[in-house]
C-alpha cells in the first residue's frame, strides 16, 4: 500500500480464497470508479490452509463475469500487526468476527466489524461460505459483496465510515 493512503481496509474470511478476495477485488474496483485513491484495500484469512494460493477458480470466474479481476491476489493469514496497520478490519461472517476479536491486541487501532454492516438494507448480515456449495453460492457472494462495497464507498466518500 502507498503512503498517500489515509484509510486502510482489510477484508477477512476463513481461507482468503473465496469471499475476502472477492470483496478485495470488488471494493478496489468500486473505489477506483469513485476516484477514492486514498483508500487502501487488502484481504486475509483467519486460517492458514491456503497460504500463497490464488483465489478459488470459481470465485475468479464469477468475478470476471462482472468485470472484476482476482487472479493476481494471493492468500495470506491475518497477523497481529494488521490490527495497527488497518483502520477497518471487516469480517465476512460472525465466526470470522469472533476469531478476529480474540486475536486483536488490546488498545489496537483497527475497528473490527462485519462487512455487511455497510449494507443495512440486505436481508442477511453475513456473507455465507460458498466453498463446499455450487455456483449459485459464488453469485450470492458477489451480490452481497457488491452491496456492502457500495455502502462502504458511499460512507468513505462522505467521511462517515467510523
Is residue 49 at the binding interface for ligand 4NP, with CB under 6 A as the rule?
yes
Cβ atoms of residues 92 and 23 within 8 Å: yes
Cβ atoms of residues 55 and 72 within 8 Å: no
Partners of 112 in the beta sheet?
89
**Size of the residue set binding ligand 4NP (CB under 6 A):** 10
Nearer to ligand 4NP, 14 or 148 (CB): 14
CA pair distance 74, 70, nearest whole angstrom: 9
Identify the active-site residue in 42, 82, 93, 129. 129
Is residue 43 at the binding interface for ligand 4NP, with CB under 6 A as the rule?
no
Nearer to ligand 4NP, 31 or 59 (CB): 59
Write down how long the chain is.
162
* Per-position x/- string for 100-139, each x denoting binding to ligand 4NP as judged by CB under 6 A, each - no binding: -----------------------------x-x--------
Q: Is 129 a catalytic residue?
A: yes
H-helix segments, the chain? 19-34, 57-64, 82-85, 94-103, 135-158
Nearer to ligand 4NP, 15 or 161 (CB): 15
CA pair distance 2, 104, nearest whole angstrom: 24
User: CB of residue 148 vs ligand 4NP: minimum separation in angstroms?
Assistant: 14
- Contact segment (CB under 6 A) with ligand 4NP among 11-19, 27-35, 60-68, 152-160 equals 11-19
Q: Which residues contact 79 (CB under 8 A, 6 or more apart)?
A: 44
Identify the active-site residue in 8, 13, 56, 93. 13
Residues with catalytic roles: 13, 19, 129
Amino acid at each position: 500500500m502507498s503512503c498517500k493512503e489515509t484509510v486502510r481496509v482489510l477484508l477477512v474470511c476463513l481461507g482468503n480464497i473465496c469471499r475476502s478476495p472477492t470483496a478485495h477485488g470488488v471494493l478496489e474496483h468500486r473505489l477506483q470508479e469513485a476516484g477514492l485513491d486514498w483508500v487502501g484495500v487488502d484481504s486475509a484469512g483467519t486460517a492458514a490452509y491456503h497460504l500463497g494460493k490464488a483465489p478459488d477458480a470459481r470465485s475468479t470466474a464469477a468475478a470476471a463475469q462482472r468485470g472484476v479481476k482476482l487472479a493476481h491476489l494471493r492468500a495470506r493469514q491475518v497477523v497481529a500487526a494488521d490490527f495497527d496497520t488497518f483502520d477497518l478490519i471487516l469480517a465476512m461472517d460472525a465466526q470470522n468476527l469472533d476469531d478476529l476479536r480474540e486475536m486483536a491486541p488490546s488498545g489496537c487501532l483497527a475497528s473490527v466489524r462485519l462487512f455487511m454492516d455497510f449494507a443495512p438494507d440486505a436481508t442477511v448480515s453475513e456473507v455465507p461460505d460458498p466453498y463446499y456449495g455450487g455456483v449459485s453460492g459464488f453469485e450470492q457472494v458477489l451480490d452481497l459483496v457488491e452491496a456492502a462495497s457500495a455502502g462502504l464507498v458511499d460512507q468513505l466518500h462522505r467521511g462517515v465510515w467510523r
